Structure 1
Amino acid sequence: MHTAQGPAWSTSGLDVAAGRYPLSIERHVMRMADLLVPGVTTVTPHARYYSLHALVAIEAERRGLSLPAAQDLLRRCEVVMAAVSYAHDHGETGLPRAHGLDALAGRLQGGEVVMAEAAQPVKGGYVRNVWGFWSPYAASEVSLGILVPASMPTPGPACAAGQVTAGLDGILELAARRSLGVDELRGHPHLCVCAGGGAADGTWLAKLLCLPGEQPAESAGRGRRNTIRLLTRLMRTHEIGDVTDDVRPLIAYGDFLRSDPVAATLETAPVWRGVMLRNYAVSAWRRLWSWLVSEVDGLMPADDLAERFADKMPDGALAAFMDGLPATTTPTGAPAPAEEQLRPSGPVDPVSELAILIVNARRVRELSGRVRDAFLGQRGVELGPEWMAWRLAESRSGSSRDFVRRLTHDLLTRSRRVALSKARRRSDGTLWLPTRLHEREGLLFRTSQEGRGDVGLRLAQLTTVLAGAGVLEMAGKTWRVTDAGQVLLD
């Protein structure tokens, strides 16, 4: 008797490794953040790495290094920066840890780092990527003109060799060493991630980011400069400690954007308001979906999952639930903080997330001008504010529980459609299907929990990059603009 094994050239099976963005509702917010903060992303928190990669590009060009040699030089320089940042007590700067520092912690605690081991892109090294931490920064460095698009770091038109090499003086010599002693590295504090603000490379990067002087209206840097001016104005007028949590409600709600003499002149301010308000809905969809996925226990019919959501809702018409939610405008006509009032501080509550989506959908008819345009983005898209407003209007007189039953099936259908649109046939014949929630013969099952974090708007990373370049500093527990920063921005 013979058993069919399938084609010999193909590996059997379906790879169901989870993907990101299962509902694909983040695109508008992420695109707007890219327009408003070009040159900084959610994975570029340190100013000093812009300088370090520029230095490697300068040195690789000067020496005519091959690609493997440039990779080795970059990794060695990044190990030096991480090791110096470990050795240097830089106090409360508000900056995150240097890249690769956690992976090197064991070696550093032993007092010495052997470069041939630490800099290798293998398990046990500071990072396994052959280009170290250049990959997350590469697009930003090209956007700023520091580098040009190439297979290895290559100087761009904004790469100021004199200031970069002066600011990082000595790092190349340390990178060429066989080993680094932690005690010795304490004598090189100028190479720490926190030291750029007082160095020549920090001054160079600060000017590149802030672009002092008038910029053309179509300039990508103009949007970033105005964003920086808005952020720093908030820091001058309010106590800003946690940038994400403290800045978000100040931009999204109230009269500040039109009453403050500086904020009122910035064309990006109303755009940021629209993006901030839209992001409340994006976050609510993400948390609601994560809750639904977490409720799938074993094999479960889709109707049972919808019923679990329905059981959380109060009896009665959807209209009664909607009418009991907070006001979304203030007496002056500005957006009121309804989403902030409804957002739970503890575990995800699906009823609260639905309430956030409902009040957010009200803003379709309340907002106007550039705020409304930035809030809506592409018109009428599924799960967008207009779509939600339409669904609520047609279901208002019906049961709130029936509404969430239908909404659950809508989300299940969309997640399947998104996963199939991202599915890929791999070279070995297997199919990659990026999803955590699956359906077989009418039954749902999950392979892992779904993420529920907010979409990053880059303001926290912009703050730490500006701090690393000397534009901002942490004073106690709050951020403030430095004297040098004020000169660049006024």
Structure 2
Amino acid sequence: MESRIKDGLNLGQLSRPGAYAGRSIGYKGQYQASEMLLGLLPTSNSQITAFDTSRLNDGFRGLYELTREEHVSEEQLRTNCHLCVCGSRTESDGAVLRELLLAQGADPDTDHDKRRQTVRMVLRLVQLRAPASINTELVDTLNYSPAVRDDDVLSQLDAVPAWQGVTLRNRSVGAWRGIWAGLVAAVPGLCHRSEFSAPLTDVLPSISVGQYLRSLPKVWAPDGTAYPAELEQSAACESDMEAFMATILLGSLRLARIPDRVRPYFESKGDSLQEMSPSWLLNQIHEWDGRALKDFARHIVELLLRRANRLSMRKARFDSSTGTIKIPTRIFFRDDLVFKDSNEGGGSVSLRWAPLVHVLSGIDLLVRDENEKWQITDQGAEALA
């Protein structure tokens, strides 16, 4: 890549039909949707008034002239180094994006207000902790730190309890995905249906469901702050599969005393009726309270297996060109035999916080220091003032 840069860029070759960023295969739709949401492009329901586009033209000065060239030399690239994405920290186009993301004066309860609150929340969380990892340390601070409840900035943001509900539920979702991925990964190509649950049941203690629940850490402090029960129990478990099981159980136990402002984002009314939701699981563990934990795990795994088959059959499509039915699944079962063609990915569903932090860094609101920790900049502190 470095040698290609030294030789310049052949824009004619890079923009030929079928190359990256061609209109049919590029990211035009994604960029366009973001720009419309921010108000950079007009929409019928845009809530941001038109701004001075000369600031964008100034930030991207020289770009349009370069696009008319068939070949851009190294010297031309050096002359226009302000067009590097890192230049948005100081250029006027970065200032425009900064103002749009912060959405000063946005009407309450609009998308722009929610985005502004989320940005302010992230900035303040970084200011409180200076994390190295966004997806672990920053989320843990939001979920479990008493300072969040007492903080002058965070306590005023409606986005905070909303994100607390989303991130706490995300732990449960990630644990469900982890259980399924672990079960599928353990299939040696072909196994009996009765053996499919072994990776989970073999690591669980031989006690009742009720005894296991009573051994778990408390989930809520008296003041409504969440205890880090998922972190404590995961550290105490000897296997990932048991940690996943404990996490989904702890998620269901959170329902009893969950704060009113958090609950709708942890589990909606419609969601509570769905299989595998916290409410559904809570009803299950009440029914199984005095029975063996291992048997309960087998029951859960059987439900997962049926659910996977049901969903894959629902998505099945007939391929008229080959005369076959395509079933989008990695695992199959016939009678009492289970087999797979590949493993599941597992892991938590992305919250998109890390990309947001990098965007905020690109417009000089956050920066990573020499110790690889995120810090708030002077611009970021000013945005919080």
Q: TM-score, normalised by structure 1?
A: 0.71
**Aligned residues of 1:470 and 1:482 also touching (Cα < 8 A):** yes
Matched residue type, 2:259:
S
Deviation at 1:314, TM superposition (A): 1.8
Deviation at 1:301, TM superposition (A): 2.4
Query: What is the match of residue 26 of structure 2?
Result: 132
For each residue in 1:363-395, what CA deviation from the matched residue of structure 2 results, as whole angstroms up to 9, or x when unmatched?
Answer: 010212111221112323211111111111111
- The reply to whether residue 478 of structure 1 matches residue 369 of structure 2 is no
Within a 5 Å distance, the mapping from 1:73-472 to structure 2 comes to 105=1, 108=4, 111-120=7-16, 122=18, 125-126=19-20, 130=24, 132-148=26-42, 158=50, 160-182=52-74, 184-213=76-105, 215-330=106-221, 332-343=223-234, 349-377=240-268, 378-426=271-319, 428=321, 430-472=324-366
**Aligned residues of 2:288 and 2:296 also touching (Cα < 8 A):** yes
Deviation at 1:161, TM superposition (A): 2.7
The CA distance in 2 between the partners of 1:250 and 1:244, in whole Å, is: 10
**Distance change in 2, residues 1:459/1:434 (3 Å):** same
The CA distance in 1 between the partners of 2:235 and 2:85, in whole Å, is: 36
Q: Which segment is superposed worse, 337-346 or 283-292?
A: 337-346
SS of the residue corresponding to residue 407 of structure 1 reads helix
For each residue in 1:279-330, what CA deviation from the matched residue of structure 2 results, as whole angstroms up to 9, or x when unmatched?
Answer: 1000001111101111122222221102343222222222222222222233
Matched residue type, 1:469:
I
Deviation at 1:110, TM superposition (A): 6.5
The CA distance in 2 between the partners of 1:187 and 1:202, in whole Å, is: 19
The CA distance in 2 between the partners of 1:364 and 1:271, in whole Å, is: 15
Deviation at 1:347, TM superposition (A): 11
Matched residue type, 1:172:
Y
SS of the residue corresponding to residue 361 of structure 1 reads helix
SS of the residue corresponding to residue 480 of structure 1 reads strand
Q: TM-score, normalised by structure 2?
A: 0.89
Q: Which segment is superposed worse, 180-189 or 203-212?
A: 180-189
**Distance change in 2, residues 1:361/1:423 (3 Å):** same
The CA distance in 1 between the partners of 2:213 and 2:140, in whole Å, is: 22
The CA distance in 1 between the partners of 2:117 and 2:326, in whole Å, is: 42
**Aligned residues of 1:163 and 1:204 also touching (Cα < 8 A):** yes
**Distance change in 2, residues 1:159/1:441 (3 Å):** farther
Deviation at 1:136, TM superposition (A): 2.9
SS of the residue corresponding to residue 365 of structure 1 reads coil
Give the superposed CA RMSD: 2.7
**Aligned residues of 2:182 and 2:199 also touching (Cα < 8 A):** no
SS of the residue corresponding to residue 390 of structure 1 reads helix
Deviation at 1:121, TM superposition (A): 5.1
Deviation at 1:106, TM superposition (A): 7.2
Q: Which of 1 and 2 has higher RCO (CA within 8 Å, sep 6+)?
A: 1
**Aligned residues of 1:287 and 1:348 also touching (Cα < 8 A):** no
Query: What is the match of residue 45 of structure 1?
Result: none
SS of the residue corresponding to residue 297 of structure 1 reads coil
For each residue in 1:372-424, what CA deviation from the matched residue of structure 2 results, as whole angstroms up to 9, or x when unmatched?
Answer: 22111232321111111111111121111111111111001111122223333
The CA distance in 1 between the partners of 2:145 and 2:331, in whole Å, is: 40
The CA distance in 2 between the partners of 1:308 and 1:235, in whole Å, is: 38
Deviation at 1:129, TM superposition (A): 6.3
Deviation at 1:221, TM superposition (A): 0.8
**Aligned residues of 1:270 and 1:370 also touching (Cα < 8 A):** yes
For each residue in 1:171-203, what CA deviation from the matched residue of structure 2 results, as whole angstroms up to 9, or x when unmatched?
Answer: 222222222344642332211111112111111
**Distance change in 2, residues 1:489/1:332 (3 Å):** closer
SS of the residue corresponding to residue 210 of structure 2 reads helix
Name structure 1 gaps, 5 residues minimum. Answer: 1-104, 151-155
**Aligned residues of 2:7 and 2:73 also touching (Cα < 8 A):** yes
The CA distance in 2 between the partners of 1:432 and 1:186, in whole Å, is: 52
The CA distance in 1 between the partners of 2:108 and 2:123, in whole Å, is: 21
**Aligned residues of 1:271 and 1:370 also touching (Cα < 8 A):** yes
**Aligned residues of 1:111 and 1:183 also touching (Cα < 8 A):** no
For each residue in 1:134-170, what CA deviation from the matched residue of structure 2 results, as whole angstroms up to 9, or x when unmatched?
Answer: 23323222211222579xxxxx965753121111111
**Aligned residues of 1:439 and 1:445 also touching (Cα < 8 A):** yes
SS of the residue corresponding to residue 330 of structure 1 reads coil
**Distance change in 2, residues 1:347/1:402 (3 Å):** closer
The CA distance in 2 between the partners of 1:380 and 1:223, in whole Å, is: 27
Matched residue type, 2:10:
V
Query: What is the match of residue 34 of structure 1?
Result: none
